[in-house]
């Protein structure tokens, strides 16, 4: 078994291994060809049911063993959490290119990056590039949210080249098939789209099956109505047909399809709040209750489930979302979009939402869907993807620290030791974005000797507190030595 | 009395007034000349003591009335909070150019921006420009942390042109006067520097009087030692002289000086943690206890006091900092640097710390000292100053929402309504950074008609959930009308 890590060789002779999501793309020895796709991992078992079913049967699968080594945790913990439905391993039998990973609150908090074109913007090559770029910076899964041209082909390229699980929202492609008219959608069209995507290898699918006809009027007085694309599409369908959503009425059939491939449900929050004013309202929580019912049905079919969450939520209303989700949905992993903690900063919503994401992950959310600086304003480009991923890696890691994940603080300590010892190259190498850290240092002190200097341009040589601290430690050591010579005492507080 | 607001005229004929920190610089009618300085505000009273003393005597000062109008709160609340020492109004009698503002947990959370040169970088003109720039984006106070050349003159230019209170750390200039050798510092040199700065009009001063000789050894096993510049300088002095800090032994004398000008103490946390590993340790909390003692002494002299806080703190250890500060320091306003919630993201510490800042402000911190992307790497430039201020305005506003500040959510609601109604220009104008929001929208849809279009490039016209919601609302209204015609019923949940 080969488990991926990124090894950082430090200038003091030590090394530090980082969890790595970038697949072979950052491996100097890998022979890559986007047209041929990544090599499949060997030994994928497709005839013994889902990871959930196998975990219940007491089996530690190859994927679970891989994940345990990757996270530095016991294989039995992985199995037990999956068996309980508190964690999911999104791994479609038809996507052997992906490296197994786990989403659950007992594990490191994960980050998803949304990519995909819209009718207004982008191309297949751009989107494959964004996938590689996002995983380079640490995205644990990718969602292909394409709504524009060539949806099937774009997804094919992404799947065959993605080292991480890929999620989709099948209703988008179904809507394209009926020329964008929600009213023309049918169960049959939707079902066929789901099967098409299962066959391709999609690992998890967002299904907005909790948007019931009777919930739609609950959104009538909202400030921002229904802001989930899938939610608004299904609400429009229900209302036009005056019928219950076909996603809800055909849910058991959907379970049977997903079970065959081990595709994980991501039960979508179609009625999530789109503004601070709408947070934690009746519509949102009514839907969450329905998602709880659907969770039980899915699990009874042996299908893995996670639950999507908001959205826009002020800080004091964040924890309630997690508690309620855990209570109603049997502790299925929570997968939230931010939440944004204020509406007033378009162009900075990676920050408004990193605050909410860190807090909701601390409370137990297992995966965070990133938000980029372009949220509400346009389709993210390459720079936005990186900014979004980095902001969310920060939020996820801050939560890992707060939750006491066994490996989290080791990285902070290694970086801080490098900082204190003025090993600038090591400080950069251990950081989330070595390129930018180095570039910022270069701006004022570009010469190589500055990379071992005992100061930087922030405080300058005379005011560098860490340099002064070294002097203080020398002085303390000196005093300690004096004491030892004059009576074998250790250095003690003096005043 | 004229109180500054920024009026946003909306395209629907309404308007929205925003709290404004930019002084006359954004006033089209103002005649500005940096060499002459800003016009002083009339009627500054300098012979009746400090705002604290006057509040205790039951007086609602002109500054308090101004602040009450600015915050939309009762003048008596302002007076009572100042009288209790739960809020401060940093307003040196010799700085009449500043517009009065308040720092206290009953009021909107404030943001400080640090500027100032270092020996390695920058000029006077650059630093005055950064001051104007920082207040343009919402900095409520400025600290001039210059340590390089021309400290006195740089400060003079900043003070005469600053519409917000200015803070300093006098030990920096004192150290320059003794050529950068901490051991050569004396009480007399420090005292004269403080008087010089009081005379110039500095509104609040960071004094690291809590770094006692006996606390220095408590830092010996830290990962990052002493990271406060002032703290490391005083620790070096104490150790070299084997004497208690002159800031501590002469504290009463210092109080007498500050009282004469109504300069506010910002009791510095010289032993704040500089890494996750060092958070909430014995050194940090020992100093905080001493700051509590000094708070009582300062208040007995009628001097206003706030308390500085960390630094680097993981999320689960943040709230303890606020509770302990309130308990030990008699609820004096807390003024924290971040805190950074992880060490692993140099170049993104405005984000690692905006997370901590939002949380610590929600818990009761009154003012947040910004951290820029250059933290740990170099002296911030103009772009970094803006990025830092915006990230901190987000954190402060998120906390105002969570604390239920009466005016906070109005802005979110106004912006979200504009968003939902596709009033793009209004959405930009109500945001923290209209320029960047507009620029991001322009990137994919630059033509003017796109600024009223019912979609953007993120989802495209067919998938715009807010556009679909409008259709849903039309459909619901239609159904409602049908019901009314067939029996005078209102529209009700249907399924
Ligand atoms: S000069 Fe300041 S920011 Fe730079 S290494 Fe020293 S203490 Fe850190
Ligand atoms: S296209 Fe999407 S992001 Fe743009 S306005 Fe519509 S719902 Fe908002």
Indicate which atom in ligand 2 lies nearest the CA of residue B460.
1
Which of A354-358, A420-424, B78-82, B463-467 shows the lowest per-residue confidence on average (mean pLDDT)? B463-467
pLDDT at residue A291 greater than cutoff 60: yes
Judging contacts by C-beta atoms under 8 Å, the chain B residues touching residue A316 are: 362, 401-403
> Across chain A, what does the average pLDDT equal?
94
Over residues B223-265, the pLDDT tens digits come to 999 999 999 999 999 999 999 999 999 999 999 999 999 999 9
Residue B183, chain A, CB below 8 Å: the answer is: no
Over residues B49-59, the pLDDT tens digits come to 999 999 999 99
Rounded-to-integer distance, Cα B283 and Cα B104, Å: 26
Is B217–A493 a contact, with Cβ atoms under 8 angstroms apart? yes
* Ligand 1 pocket mutation pick from A426, A443, A462, A466 by most atoms within 8 angstroms of CB: A466
CB proximity under 8 Å: A 471-490 to B: 471-473, 475-476, 479
Which residue bears the tokens 């509770």? Answer: B323
Instruction: Let me know: does A117 contact A148? Beta carbons within 8 Å.
Output: yes
Calculate how far, in angstroms, residue B372's C-alpha sits from the geometric centre of ligand 1.
14
Which residue bears the tokens 């004022």? Answer: A444
Structure tokens that stand for A176 in this block? 């394209």
Cβ atoms within 10 Å of A93's Cβ, excluding its own: 17
Ligand 1 near B177 CB (within 6 A): no
Which residue bears the tokens 């007498």? Answer: B256
Give the SS3 label for residue A272. Answer: coil
Cβ atoms within 10 Å of B375's Cβ, excluding its own: 25
pLDDT at residue A465 greater than cutoff 70: yes
Rounded-to-integer distance, Cα A56 and Cα A85, Å: 10
pLDDT of residue B495: 35
How many CA atoms within 13 Å lie on the side-chain side of B472?
Answer: 31
Closest by Cβ to A398, choosing from B355, B412, B431: B355
3-state DSSP percent of chain B in helix, strand and coil, to 5: 50, 10, 40
Rounded-to-integer distance, Cα B34 and Cα B244, Å: 43
Q: Which residues line ligand 2 (CB under 6 A)?
A: A 376; B 455-456, 458-459, 464-467
**Contact partners, residue A327, CB within 8 Å, separation at least 6:** none
Instruction: Let me know: does B292 contact B253? Beta carbons within 8 Å.
Output: no
Q: Is the peptide bond before B304 cis (omega within 30 degrees of 0)?
A: no
Rounded to an integer, the average pLDDT of A458-462 is 85
Instruction: Let me know: does B198 contact B257? Beta carbons within 8 Å.
Output: yes
- pLDDT band at residue A187 using 50, 70 and 90 as cut-offs: very high
Share of chain A above pLDDT 70, in %: 97
Q: Which residues of chain B fall below pLDDT 70?
A: 119-122, 483-484, 486-495
pLDDT greater at residue A425 or residue B146: A425
pLDDT of residue A461: 86
* Nearest residue on chain A to B228, alpha-carbon basis: A465
Ligand 1 near A456 CB (within 6 A): yes
pLDDT of residue A127: 86
Tell me the H-state helices in A29-169: 51-56, 62-71, 75-84, 124-136, 151-161
Instruction: Let me know: does A308 contact A321? Beta carbons within 8 Å.
Output: no
pLDDT at residue A491 greater than cutoff 60: no
Instruction: Let me know: does B311 contact B357? Beta carbons within 8 Å.
Output: no
Rounded to an integer, the average pLDDT of A206-226 is 96
Rounded to an integer, the average pLDDT of A278-284 is 97
pLDDT at residue A490 greater than cutoff 70: no
pLDDT of residue B36: 87
């Amino acid at each position: 078994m080969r488990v991926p890590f990124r090894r950082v060789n430090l200038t003091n002779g030590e090394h530090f291994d980082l969890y790595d999501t970038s697949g072979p793309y950052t491996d100097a020895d890998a022979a890559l060809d986007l047209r041929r796709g990544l090599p499949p991992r060997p030994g994928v078992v497709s005839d013994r049911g889902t990871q959930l079913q196998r975990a219940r049967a007491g089996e530690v699968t190859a994927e679970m063993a891989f994940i345990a080594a990757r996270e530095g945790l016991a294989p039995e913990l992985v199995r037990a959490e999956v068996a309980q439905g508190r964690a999911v391993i999104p791994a479609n039998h038809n996507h052997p290119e992906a490296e197994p990973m786990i989403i659950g609150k007992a594990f490191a908090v994960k980050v998803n990056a949304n990519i995909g074109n819209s009718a207004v913007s982008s191309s297949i090559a751009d989107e494959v590039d964004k996938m590689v770029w996002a995983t380079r910076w640490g995205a644990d899964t990718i969602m292909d949210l394409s709504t524009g041209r060539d949806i099937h082909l774009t997804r094919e390229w992404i799947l065959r080249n993605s080292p991480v699980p890929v999620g989709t929202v099948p209703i988008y492609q179904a809507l394209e098939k009926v020329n964008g008219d929600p009213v023309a959608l049918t169960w049959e069209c939707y079902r066929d789209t789901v099967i098409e995507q299962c066959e391709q290898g999609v690992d998890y699918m967002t299904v907005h099956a909790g948007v019931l006809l009777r919930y739609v009027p609950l959104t009538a007085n909202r400030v921002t109505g229904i802001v989930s694309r899938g939610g608004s599409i299904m609400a429009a369908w229900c209302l036009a047909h005056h019928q219950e959503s076909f996603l809800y009425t055909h849910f058991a059939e959907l379970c049977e399809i997903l079970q065959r491939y081990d595709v994980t449900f991501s039960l979508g929050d179609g009625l999530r709040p789109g503004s601070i004013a709408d947070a934690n309202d009746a519509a949102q929580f009514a839907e969450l209750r329905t998602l709880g019912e659907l969770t039980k049905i899915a699990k009874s079919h042996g299908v893995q489930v996670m639950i999507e969450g908001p959205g826009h939520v002020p800080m004091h209303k964040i924890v309630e979302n997690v508690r309620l989700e855990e209570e109603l949905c049997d502790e299925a992993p929570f997968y939230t979009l931010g939440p944004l903690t204020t509406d007033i900063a378009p162009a900075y919503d990676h920050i408004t939402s990193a605050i909410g994401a860190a807090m909701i992950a601390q409370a137990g959310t297992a995966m965070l869907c990133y938000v980029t600086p372009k949220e509400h304003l346009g389709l993210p480009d390459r720079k936005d993807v990186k900014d979004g991923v980095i902001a969310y890696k920060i939020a996820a890691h801050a939560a890992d620290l707060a939750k006491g994940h066994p490996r989290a603080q080791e990285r902070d300590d290694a970086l801080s030791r490098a900082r204190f010892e003025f090993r600038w190259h090591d400080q950069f190498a251990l950081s989330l974005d070595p390129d930018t850290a180095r570039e910022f240092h270069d701006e004022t002190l570009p010469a190589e000797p500055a990379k071992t200097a005992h100061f930087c341009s922030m405080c300058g040589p005379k005011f560098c507190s860490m340099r002064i601290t070294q002097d203080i430690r020398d002085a303390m050591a000196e005093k300690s030595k004096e004491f030892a010579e004059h009576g074998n005492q250790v250095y003690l507080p003096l005043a």
